[in-house]
Amino acid sequence: MFEKIKPLYDRVLVKRIEMDNQTPGGIIIPDAAKDKAQTGQVIAIGGGRVLSDGKVAPLQVKVGDLVYFGKYAGTEAGDDYIIIPESELLGTIQK
C-alpha cells in the first residue's frame, strides 16, 4: 500500500531496513535493546524543493538509494515506512 504514495515537494518515502544486529567486535545486539532502524531505502521522491524565485530544485537522492536519518526524523507511515523531508536525511550509504 505505501509503495503507491507519491511524496510532495522535497519529501521522500523511505522503507526502513534493518542492518546487522552484530557489532564489529562480534557482540550480538538483542532485539529488546534495538531501536527502530535509522536506515532505509528510498521508495519514492517528490518533485523537488520550490525555491524563492518559483523554480524547482531537484532532489539529491533518487529511488533505490540507501539513506541514514535521525531517530526522530520525518513522519511515520505504518510500521516500516517513513516520509521524510530531504533536509532531514543525514546521508546516503554507499554499497
Local mean pLDDT, 10-residue blocks, the chain (95 residues): 81 86 62 68 94 94 94 88 94 86
Number of domains in the chain: 1
Write out the residue range of the structural domain in which residue 11 sits. Answer: 2-92
Alpha-carbon distance of 69 to 90, in angstroms, equals 5
Q: Do 42 and 63 touch, CB atoms closer than 8 A?
A: yes
- What pLDDT score was predicted for residue 3? 64
Handedness of CA 87, 82, 15, 49 (dihedral sign): negative
- What pLDDT score was predicted for residue 21? 62
- Which CATH number covers residue 85? 2.30.33.40
Radius of gyration for the chain, computed over Cα atoms and rounded to the nearest angstrom: 15
Alpha-carbon distance of 39 to 41, in angstroms, equals 7
